[in-house]
Amino acid sequence: MSVNIPRGTQDILPGQSEKWQYIESIAKDVCRRYHYKEIRTPIFEHTELFKRSVGDTTDIVQKEMYTFEDRGERSLTLRPEGTAAVVRSFVENKMFGMADQPVKLYYTGPMFRYERPQAGRYRQFVQFGVEAIGSEDPAIDAEVIGLVMDIYKMAGLKKLKLVINSLGDAESRTKHREALIRHFEPHIEEFCGDCQMRLKQNPLRILDCKKDRDHELMKTAPSILDYLNEESKAYFEKVTAYLDAVGIQYTIDPKLVRGLDYYNHTAFEVMSEAEGFGAITTLCGGGRYNGLVQQLGGPESPGIGFAFSIERFIAAMEAEKVEWPIDKGLDCFIVALGDAAKDRSVSLVHELRTAGLSAERDYQDRKMKAQLKASDRQHARFTAILGEDELTENRITVKDMAEGSQDQVPLNELANYLKTKMEAN
């Protein structure tokens, strides 16, 4: 019996994995510039953490979690998202007591959701996310949004749309919530079962429903922006003014609500507008969560963050046909002919690697022609040929595949010779 990969997961093979590394390296470099530091948390957490933070009424908690009991009869869950664990760790490690606030963190790693697999939707996917916890300065909202836009920009994506909204503070949300109930209640039986439940539990999330999105009442639903109190309005205006100040373009969409319960004030998403991207265009989601730290047992510490998946990032790069500036990698392939030369090539390839070059040799006892072909296939910048004659004269024939030129190089100078030539162009 053959065993296949589980549904909704994928193997990232060489040829693709370089793209992942490339995006991760850009994201990490932008985080360095913005002075965010990496945090690594476990892949599983107590189930209770997600129930309490993401929210009991959300799709994630109700339908999508990979929950299991361990041998000690604890209920554990493979993390469906990153914020809950980061905030748990913030509280547990008393990061609220650190001198420098906000605490600025980033994370990356696999997340797990039991979803219906389709293009851009996996059961295991990799998120990159950022959290800034401990400040309520609207400048930090603009910073976090600017950070993710910089990551996309550095990667070369252009066809992006940034959408933002304010969900307001608790007072504004309560008023809006009442208005939503008044709006939907008379016709709630025309909506899906989930929405009927949402009406009383969390009517805001009706606006986020994928099944009922075309219902007439969705278009006329009361806008949160009309229910923002003075404070919330002023906060939102500051955020947009700071975005203007750093030249970030955005669209305000009062219908943008986020799936998770813990958001308030600023909410945002980045979409791809590339042609042929497919039905799911959201690349990144984020927002402010001022009550979450307290909800998880810490002191009041307002936070904001975002997460995107590398899967959708790569899909956007492919849809926009952005070049991948990926180094093919191999600097030198050593072609060895005859037993003595093959023996010598073992230490020779090691010398090159020690000198920092990527080097390869033949392990299949192939003839010269096949070795040369292998060198070609592997895009070696240099092919170095070591035959009997070369070996007795302590030299090696080096072909520069880019220039088409050829040199005789003393064996013990091979590494230096290659490095000098590579630095020259």
Binding site for ligand ATP (CB under 6 A): 81, 113, 115, 120-122, 125, 127, 259, 280, 282-285, 307-309, 311-312
User: Which residue number, 71 or 210, has a Cβ lying nearer to ligand ATP?
Assistant: 210
Can you say whether the dihedral through the CA atoms of 154, 157, 159, 163 is positive or negative?
negative
Write down the least CB distance from residue 46 to ligand ATP, Å. Answer: 20
How many whole angstroms separate alpha carbon 212 and alpha carbon 208? 9
* Token digits of residue 145: 């949004």
User: Which residue number, 128 or 184, has a Cβ lying nearer to ligand ATP?
Assistant: 128
The closest alpha carbon to 284, from 138, 123, 150, 89, belongs to 150
Write down the least CB distance from residue 276 to ligand ATP, Å. Answer: 17
The closest alpha carbon to 31, from 156, 133, 144, belongs to 144
Which amino acids are annotated as binding site, given as ranges? Answer: 81-83, 113, 127, 131, 258, 262-263
Is 292 in contact with 90 (CB distance < 8 Å)? no
How many whole angstroms separate alpha carbon 296 and alpha carbon 53? 7
User: Which residue number, 55 or 285, has a Cβ lying nearer to ligand ATP?
Assistant: 285
Write down the least CB distance from residue 161 to ligand ATP, Å. Answer: 13
How many whole angstroms separate alpha carbon 396 and alpha carbon 411? 6
How many whole angstroms separate alpha carbon 286 and alpha carbon 143? 12
Q: How far is CA 10 from the centre of its chain?
A: 16
Angle between helices 138-155 and 310-319 (to 10 degrees): 50
Which amino acids are annotated as binding site for L-histidine, given as ranges? Answer: 81-83, 113, 127, 131, 258, 262-263
Write down the least CB distance from residue 269 to ligand ATP, Å. Answer: 7
User: Which residue number, 54 or 374, has a Cβ lying nearer to ligand ATP?
Assistant: 54
Write down the least CB distance from residue 340 to ligand ATP, Å. Answer: 54
- Number of Cβ within 10 Å of residue 158's Cβ equals 10
Write down the least CB distance from residue 268 to ligand ATP, Å. Answer: 10
Write down the least CB distance from residue 284 to ligand ATP, Å. Answer: 5
Write down the least CB distance from residue 83 to ligand ATP, Å. Answer: 9
Q: Prior bond to 222 cis, omega within 30?
A: no
User: Which residue number, 36 or 333, has a Cβ lying nearer to ligand ATP?
Assistant: 36
Using a 10 angstrom Cβ sphere, with 0-12 exposed, 13-18 middle and 19 or more buried, the burial of residue 24 is middle
The closest alpha carbon to 120, from 302, 336, 406, 311, belongs to 311
Q: How far is CA 362 from the centre of its chain?
A: 37
How many whole angstroms separate alpha carbon 34 and alpha carbon 124? 28
User: Which residue number, 113 or 361, has a Cβ lying nearer to ligand ATP?
Assistant: 113
User: Which residue number, 228 or 284, has a Cβ lying nearer to ligand ATP?
Assistant: 284
How many whole angstroms separate alpha carbon 247 and alpha carbon 337? 61
- Number of Cβ within 10 Å of residue 377's Cβ equals 10
User: Which residue number, 184 or 308, has a Cβ lying nearer to ligand ATP?
Assistant: 308
